[in-house]
Amino acid sequence: MRNNQAFYTALLAVVIVTAATAFFLRPPAAKPLEQQPSAPTEHEFAPLQRDPLTVTLVPGAAHFNVQKYQREPVVRVWMADKQTIETMPLETYLEGVIAKEMEPSWPLEALMAQAITSRTLTVNAIEAGTIKKLHNADVSTAKEELQAYSRERVNDTVREAVRLTRGQVLMYGDSLVYAIYSACNGQIAATKEESFPLEIPVPTPYFQPVRDNCFWNAPPEQQVWTVKIPAVEVARILGYQGNPADIKILERGPSGRILYIGAGNVKMYGADFRKQVGYDRLKSTLITDMTYDGKNFVFQGNGWGNGVGLCQWGAYTYVQQGWKAADILKYYYVGAHIETLWH
């Protein structure tokens, strides 16, 4: 599982699911700056279809041994708040994750989608052994190390969502999916090149710039936002010593997110720039406008989070339209399928 180990070790440095990799991954070749796609106001249920014959082995991705998990694992949980280790069945641990990572009052099918996603991420982390190196445990309740956790928020709906999806994980071909997710993707999902260009060491054909309706229900502050950042700070982060007015968005990715920002011969991945600015300050790299007023850069953007994979507010919205958990996951992870490990 060398690939997964490289991935999760990198992710621990950037907050959930950012840095060297074990593979040679060259930055995408520069392309002309393209206009960001406008956010849709409505989207009908039209999931991307992928011929099963085209879902093949991902180059470099590790084969996942399904037979290894015929029985539910008992996991050692690093309780970050208490600095202690507790032992419990994985599904019990998962209840606390779902209750914290998604609102427990949300519809059952949305919680089920989150359960499958979080279970996949959990098994991936166990396989990688990252938390074991940190705390001699299988998983951690620290969000910056894996996923958030709250036993106190667990309710009957959360328990039912976990029960109904018991043992289910997402796979693409014969490998586990990198089951990343975010709060609000700005109504268009990110590709791994836009949010995790170096941290994910293998191709991820299931991450596509699919559109959704997450703005229908997402809080206003997650939909559209503006942040002002001093030009001297932007220049310092980029390592640029010239005129700040020269700093531009150099290239956008398939979803319209910043792929590169810089000036002259200096450029930085948009994902790294966001990390340096601060995730809660620059809420996403889906920047719709960047202006310079002579002292500050003003960024306007959409969404909150890395935008990769499951969009939680999109899932909430689609459940309102009658989608099932499986529909939602197959939409956000194109070509992936659900595999039941233990019963």
- Average pLDDT of the segment spanning 164-183: 96
Task: Note the pLDDT tens digit of each residue in 125-163.
Answer: 999 999 999 999 999 999 989 999 999 999 999 999 999
| pLDDT at residue 11, as a whole number | 44
CA 301 to chain centre: 18
Does 21 map to a domain? no
- Average pLDDT of the segment spanning 258-280: 96
- Average pLDDT of the segment spanning 325-333: 97
Contact residues for 29 (Cβ-Cβ < 8 A; gap 6+): none
Does 54 map to a domain? no
Q: Same domain for 296 and 313?
A: no
Q: Same domain for 101 and 147?
A: yes
Does 17 map to a domain? no
Rounded Cα–Cα distance for residues 43 and 38 (Å): 13
Q: Same domain for 316 and 241?
A: no
- Is the predicted pLDDT of residue 39 greater than 80, yes or no? no
| pLDDT at residue 18, as a whole number | 33
Percent of the chain with pLDDT over 70: 84
Contact status, residue 299 vs residue 233, Cβ threshold 8 Å? no
| pLDDT at residue 56, as a whole number | 67
- Average pLDDT of the segment spanning 6-28: 34
| pLDDT at residue 57, as a whole number | 74
Q: Name the residue range of residue 82's domain.
A: 69-179+309-340
Does 150 map to a domain? yes
Q: Same domain for 284 and 237?
A: yes
Does 142 map to a domain? yes
- Average pLDDT of the segment spanning 249-271: 97
Does 223 map to a domain? no
Contact status, residue 166 vs residue 342, Cβ threshold 8 Å? yes
- Average pLDDT of the segment spanning 87-110: 98
Q: Same domain for 234 and 282?
A: yes
| pLDDT at residue 27, as a whole number | 28
Whole-number Cα distances in Å, 289 to 35, 209, 331: 10, 19, 28
Per-residue confidence band for 45, with pLDDT thresholds at 50, 70 and 90:
very low
Q: How many domains does the chain have?
A: 2
Per-residue confidence band for 55, with pLDDT thresholds at 50, 70 and 90:
low
Q: Same domain for 276 and 318?
A: no
Structure token digits, residue 244 = 């700040």
Q: Same domain for 237 and 329?
A: no
Average pLDDT, the chain: 87
Per-residue confidence band for 6, with pLDDT thresholds at 50, 70 and 90:
very low
- Is the predicted pLDDT of residue 262 greater than 80, yes or no? yes
- Average pLDDT of the segment spanning 164-193: 96
Does 52 map to a domain? no
Q: Same domain for 255 and 279?
A: yes
Does 137 map to a domain? yes
Per-residue confidence band for 15, with pLDDT thresholds at 50, 70 and 90:
very low
| pLDDT at residue 206, as a whole number | 96
Nearest to 169 by CA among 100, 77, 68: 68
Q: Same domain for 81 and 136?
A: yes
Q: Same domain for 118 and 169?
A: yes
Q: Same domain for 321 and 247?
A: no
- Is the predicted pLDDT of residue 178 greater than 60, yes or no? yes
- Is the predicted pLDDT of residue 317 greater than 50, yes or no? yes
Q: Same domain for 332 and 259?
A: no
Per-residue confidence band for 301, with pLDDT thresholds at 50, 70 and 90:
very high
| pLDDT at residue 23, as a whole number | 24
